[in-house]
Amino acid sequence: MQTVATIFSGNLRKNAKKVSNFTNWTRTIISTAGDIKRGPLPNYVAEEPDGPQIKTNIPGPRSLALKKELSYIQNSDAVVFFTDYDRSQGNYIADADGNLLLDLYMQIASLPLGYNHPRLHQALRDEHNAALFVNRPALAAYPPQQWIARVKSALMTLAPPGLNCVQTMSCGSCSVEYCQKSMFMLHQRRERGGLPPTDEEMQSCLINEPPGCPDLCILSFTNGLHGRTMGALSMTHAKWFHKLDSPQPKWPIAQFPKIRYPLHEFERENNAEVEKSLAEVEELIEKFNKLGRQVVGICIEPIQGEGGDNMATPYFYRALQRISKKYNISFMLDEIQTGCGGTGKMWAHEHFNLDEPPDLVSFSKKMLTGGFYFREHHMPQEPGRIFNTWVGDPSKVIMLEEVAKVIYEQDLLKQVEETGKYLISSLEEAQERFPNMLSRARGLGTFAAIDFKDAESRDYFIHKARNKGINTGGSGEKSLRFRPALILQKKHVNIFLDTLYSVVSDMK
């Protein structure tokens, strides 16, 4: 039986012969489409290889050829290599050239159970799920009848303590932007004393004018990353290419504490750095409020996952929440990278012993779906305020439901905690052996990082390690970051350590 894709690509090839001026690159793409393997889904098992298998340089010739083809359609400069997802398994990623790498990066922190977990394939094959995979519903208007049960089974099972409301979204950036919108809406509802908006507000907002479009702000921190779309960019301060050429509002940006390591040697200095940042937060809130540009919320990552794996003390986060209470503003934690178990707890902010639940917690990546948890007072009062066509995808929530079951059945949070301790202690040993090259080993669970002496050394290591079968990623200016799946074990850490010692020993 022919698939739709087979018929479509076949028709393209047949019709292309009739067009005399059909471009060379289009012919190349069509021929590539004809090479795509089709057939029944593989019968995956929960086994993985014993170690990396390297056959070519990475990226290899097949990946380079595909990257060149893609460049005719879109900018492909960010592509590392093309992946063979059929052959990827567990903690290992396979590329288009037959190489197999231990993946400590996991699709930029996005796969909770590694590649091709059998439970997820089982959910995909379950005929009871088929209609929700085939018919992607407009959830905000036409949710499926089993939607509430799915949300409770998946999202509410994993919810941060004390947060009983959740809204699904499609990605991390839109999750953050709707959190922003929720903060603005709550503030204005309080300003109106709970009354509905006036006619003037409803009309003026349509032309981007006050009072319907008030001049409100959200405070964020240096080196933070909260997304790459326009609203989320207003709080993103990690790298220039995220923001260049995009108009942005002038909102308050406080200095994230610059923590020194090892922690026990710099306790006094770190405490002073934290207090300095907290004082600046209050000064900025006061300053903007006096200018009539009301600060309505604070947004921060528990660990700055893109801006350098920067961490602060639990006290810092407790104090930030108290500042938000003092000024009656929202306290938002962006857990898009840190959520779903990577730190050894389901949510990184659980390490902080906050006085009460945060107002909003955004999520995506390992949660497979985007969205945010929120406290009841952030519930919209009018229909359509938090709305788009899909607001998520039931198929991703079905997958997350299985992820939640596996996490609890296999006690994966405990495994992450134990593997993480081993990883970080091993990184500390490595920096003692190579003090001129490595420093600042840090992390929670397997959400970890270590610094190289400079960006060039870090990037050189990533390249050499990849060609030895280890896939990793960078963070900030010179950090190497670890974003493995929850199923990472000590044996995998040892494979990485062999490569770390081998490569760094040859570096100057």
Q: For residue 402, give the CATH number of its domain.
A: 3.40.640.10
Q: Which of 107, 141, 157 is the last residue of a domain?
A: 107
Residues 321, 346, single domain; the answer is yes
In a shared domain, residues 385 and 500: no
Q: Are residues 355 and 461 located together in one domain of the fold?
A: no
In a shared domain, residues 360 and 240: yes
Q: Which of 374, 408, 442 is the last residue of a domain?
A: 408
CA nearest neighbour of 181 among 296, 339, 292: 296
389 and 271 in one domain?
A: yes
Residue 114 within a domain: no
Number of H helices, E strands in the chain: 17, 14
By CB neighbour count within 10 A (0-12 exposed, 13-18 middle, 19+ buried), where does 382 fall? Answer: exposed
Judge if 292 and 262 occupy the same domain. yes
Judge whether 357 lies within some domain: yes
Domain boundary among 59, 76, 107: 107
Tens-binned pLDDT, residue by residue, of the chain (508 aa):
333 333 333 443 334 333 333 334 333 333 443 344 444 445 555 579 999 999 999 999 999 999 999 999 999 999 999 999 999 999 999 999 999 999 999 999 999 999 999 999 999 999 999 999 999 999 999 999 999 999 999 999 999 999 999 999 999 999 999 999 999 999 999 999 999 999 999 999 999 999 999 999 999 999 999 999 999 999 999 999 999 999 999 999 999 999 999 999 999 999 999 999 999 999 999 999 999 999 999 999 999 999 999 999 999 999 999 999 999 999 999 999 999 999 999 999 999 999 999 999 999 999 999 999 999 999 999 999 999 999 999 999 999 999 999 999 999 999 999 999 999 999 999 999 999 999 999 999 999 999 999 999 999 999 999 999 999 999 999 999 999 999 999 999 999 999 999 999 999 7
128 falls within a domain: no
Are 233 and 368 within one domain?
yes
Judge if 500 and 363 occupy the same domain: no
Do 393 and 456 share a domain, yes or no? no
Same-domain status, 92 and 11:
yes
Question: Residues 101, 250: one domain?
Answer: no
Strands 295-300 and 217-221: parallel
419 found inside a domain = yes
Domain assignment present for 35: yes
Query: What are the phi and psi torsion angles at 224 (to 5°)?
Result: -80, 155
Residues 343 and 445 in one domain: no
- Number of compact structural domains in the chain: 3
Range of the domain at 475: 412-505
Of the candidates 309, 343, 458, the residue with the CA atom closest to the CA atom of residue 412: 343
